[in-house]
Structures are given as structure tokens and as C-alpha cells.
Structure 1
Amino acid sequence: MRKIKTAVLAAIVGAVAAPAFAVNVNWTDWQSGSTGAGILAEGVMTVDGTNIDVEYSNSAGSIFGLQTSGGTDYWQNGRSGRNAATSGYTSTGTNGNDNIPTGVDIIQAGAQATHTFRFLTEVQDIYLSFVSINRNSLTFDTPFELLSITGGNLDGNGTDSNGYWGNGGATLTSTPSTYSLTASGETHGTLFIAGAFTELSFTTSVSENWHGFTVGAASTPSEVPLPAAGLMLMAGLGAVAGLRRTRR
């Protein structure tokens, strides 16, 4: 009887405590490019049923290109299609994301610049995926977590596939006021920035032919809700009480 009770308690604790969720990122649907008011790209992010307008600009005042539909899928695994399980843009863990950026939507920038995304409605927790940061640095004024890079295994879930232009490493450094990712080679990947934002900015350290970006925000994670977890705990404790009565 003691073994049965131990097994029941272990199942209860596992069900309540296990971080069993997969964050689905709502990636921006880039829709148009514009030169008005310095806005270089405009799109919409739909988070929990709410459409949020997103604007992109940079201090150089230009972009290499903008894909809204059609064109090459630079978010695929190498050049062999998509597989979320081995993608360099997905990851497991507390803040991990389980979906690759949507479609072929990508902003292609080339100049050394300050890049700014504006969200016309405040969003919570940002995911930024990037393509081909070739020996370049991304520097933020807020901390971030590097979730995945192509050809790497940052989450311990197995080596991720190459990116469209190959792969490379990444070194993270910080000062009291800046947080940087410096790439070695053709680094592609996804990073996570916690917090509430109406604007997110970062700088690139050098100019190159082009590097690509897109942004998204997470929906409510598909965790077991606290009320449900509480009911599971109560039900489990009831089962243990029943076992005690049976033993008596």
C-alpha cells in the first residue's frame, strides 16, 4: 500500500510542478513598406485575438528589402524545408517557442544602424528571430535570453539544423547598461526579451550585404492553469485519503 501511495503522490507532484507547455509565438505579418515618417515596414501581430500594429524603422533610413509574401523562405532548415523539431528558430525550456517565424515575412537590413520596432498596443515578452548576423553584433539596452542558434544545441534538446546561409557561434557580453550578442560566422537564431514593450531598439555594429529580422509576442502558454492544477492536487489528496481508509 505504501508503494501505491508513493506512486500517486509522485504523479500528483509531477502533474502540478512539471513545466509542460509550449509557447506559440504570434509572429508579425509584415504587410507593406513605407517611407512616411521614417517608417520602413508596417505589419500586424495578432495576440490573443487582438490585432496590434507594428512599425519598423532604422537610423540609416533604408532597408535592403522587405518580404511580405512570395520569395525565398529564409526561415527554413538549411535549404530543405521546415521541421520545427530541429529548427534553429525553435527551442524548449521555460521561455522556449515551438513555432518557426510565419511564412516568408522578413525585414532585410544592411547598414550599421539603430533598429526600432514600435508596437502601437503594449505587448508582453518579445521574440526576435534573425538571419545571417555575419560577424556582427546586436546590442540592446535591456537583458535578453538567446534561445537557439542554427547548428547549436543551446536548449540541450539536440543539435539544430543549419540556417539558410549556414551557421555560426554567438558570444554574449554585457556592461551595466548594454547587452550584446556577437556572431562568429553566419549566425541565425531566436532570442527572448522579457517585459512589457511599446518599443524595442537595438544596434548592429557593422554594415553587411543584408541580415534579416522579424518579431513576435507570445500568447498565454498552454500550461495547466493554476485552478486546474489545484483541482488535480485536491483530487489526488482525496485519492490518498481513500487509500488510507482502505488500509484501515
Structure 2
Amino acid sequence: MNLTTKTALSAIAAAVLGTLGSPGSASAAEVSWTQWTSAVAGNNGRAFGQMVADDGSSISVSYSGQLAFWDAPGSNSFWQDGGGTYTSAAVDNGPGDSGMVALSRLGTRTLTFSQSVGNVFFALIGLNAVGYEFDQDFTIESSGPGHLGSGSFSKQITADGKYRLTGSGEPHGVIRFVDPVTTIRWTSLADEQWNGFTVGTYGAAPVPESSTWALMGLGLFAMGCFRRRRCATA
């Protein structure tokens, strides 16, 4: 195999690896936020909603735990974005008028999804110093001013392996859970007037275009040629 051929095959292989490792186009960052359709307030409250994926499929979302009040889609939007509060490199769009669930008391809560969901985003209003303690690891994606004021988030991992999110001031923003989930459990660490949340995820993963499949095929061929070459010269 001459140098020119090897260089060309190397370029093809690199392009394929880049394609496979790419996180996707900007459209992949569009988040489908839960449309909360019904709820019952109280110490044993319930709320129900749907996330609609890009392919039209629906993921059911249910919440159980203390519930102070809820905001139906299109009624009052508490999700005012002061500039990057609910958007980031990972999230193109905030919750808008999709609705919200508000909490006010110490206690444990559970979110349940009808199927395993990856890239679950959890948007918050006014968490302040009360804090949430989750059973799932997360990353802080964004924070900024919102409906109740402004502030910032911090994360700690507790001695018993829980993931704690606390705030300074009245932070609003978005966290993302690291692993796919079917349930998320967390504890509100103290009473307060109220804080709110909603959840969302990406829509259906985009299907690779025909040109991408062709590039992948060329890359596999290139890697096969290299392997055969190494075997022949060994």
C-alpha cells in the first residue's frame, strides 16, 4: 500500500470516527418539556403529564409526593428566562408555558416515566438554600435570574452516596441526570414558601442520512485495509 493510499484511508477513518463521536446537530438540543395535564395538591399529591418526542411517540410522566400547587400549560408561565437561565449548549429551549409542579414541604418525592429515558433535564424555580437530595447523579447545565429572583446552584455528594443540589439566593436553572432513568427519587430538605420544577428530554434520535451511512462504510473498509496490511507485514 503506497503512502498516498494510506493517507487517504487514514483521512476516511478519521472522518468516520468523528461522525460516530459527534454529539449531533444543533437540532438535537431541542428539549421536549413535560405538558402537565392534571394534578391533585396535598401532602400526598399527584401530577401527570406527557413528553412528546420528535417522532410523535409519547412518554408518560407521573409525580407523587407533597404538592403545593400546579400550573397548567398555557395558563401562567413561571419560566421567565433572564438570559441563559434555562438554555445552554445542551438545551436550546426553556420550558415556556408547558406547566409546572410546585413544592413547599420537607419530604420525599418520586418521578416515574413510562419507559427508560436518557438525557432527562430537570428545570427549577427558586430552589434557594432549602436544597434537594437526589438518588441519581446530575450535572448543572445552567442557572440565572427568573420568576423569584436570582442566585446560583452548587452540588455535593453526601457520605451516603446521595447527590445534593442547593442554592444561594433564589436560583433558577436546569440540571441533567447522568444516566437513563425510569424513576427519580429526591428529598426536599426543609419547608419553604414554594419552589417549582418540570422535566424534559430530547426527542427521537435523528436517523443518520444516507451520506453518513456511506461514510461509515468507507471508514470500515479503510480500517479493514489497515488491519490486513498489519497482518501481512507482521
Helix, strand or coil at the partner of 1:231:
helix
User: Gapped runs of 5+ residues in structure 1?
Assistant: 79-85, 151-161, 237-248
Q: Which residue of 1 aligns with 2:148?
A: 165
Identity %: 29
Aligned twin of 2:38: 32
Q: 2:108 aligns with which of 94, 114, 117?
A: 114
Match of 1:201 in 2: 185
The one-letter amino acid of 2:77's match is D
Question: In the alignment, which residue of structure 1 is the partner of 2:78?
Answer: 74
Q: Pick one of 137, 158, 162 that aligns with 2:131.
A: 137
- Equivalent residue in structure 1 for 2:91, among 86, 94, 97: 97
Q: Which of residues 40, 46, 56 is equivalent to 2:52?
A: 46
Residue 88 in structure 1 maps to residue 85 in structure 2 = yes
- Report the RMSD for the aligned CA atoms in angstroms: 3.4
Q: 1:233 to 1:128 in 2, by over 3 A?
A: same
Q: Aligned with 1:195: secondary structure?
A: coil
Which sections of structure 2, spanning at least 5 residues, go unmatched? 220-234
Q: Is the 8 A contact 2:48 2:63 kept in 1?
A: yes
Instruction: Report if the CA contact (8 A) 1:70-1:104 is conserved.
Output: yes
State the partner residue of 1:124. Answer: 117
Counterpart residue type for residue 67 of structure 1: D
Does the 8 Å contact 1:87/1:100 carry over to 2?
no
2 CA distance for matches of 1:100 and 1:164?
13
Identify the structure with bigger relative contact order (alpha carbons < 8 Å, sequence gap 6+): 1
Cα 1:115–1:49 shift into 2, 3 Å: same
* Deviation, structure 1 residue 70: 4.3
CA displacement at 1:230 relative to structure 2: 4.9
User: Aligned equivalents of 2:213 and 2:60: distance in 1?
Assistant: 37
Structure 1 43/18 Cα, relative in aligned 2: closer, same or farther at 3 Å? closer
Which residue number in structure 2 is paired with residue 178 of structure 1? 162
Alpha carbons 2:35, 2:49 under 8 Å: kept: yes
Distance 1:17 1:163, change over 3 A: same
Give TM-score scaled by structure 2 length.
0.74
How far apart in 2 are the matches of 1:165 and 1:104? 18
Deviation, 1:112, is 1.4
**Contact 1:169-1:184 at 8 Å conserved across structures:** yes
- 1:69 and 1:13 mapped to 2: Cα distance? 42
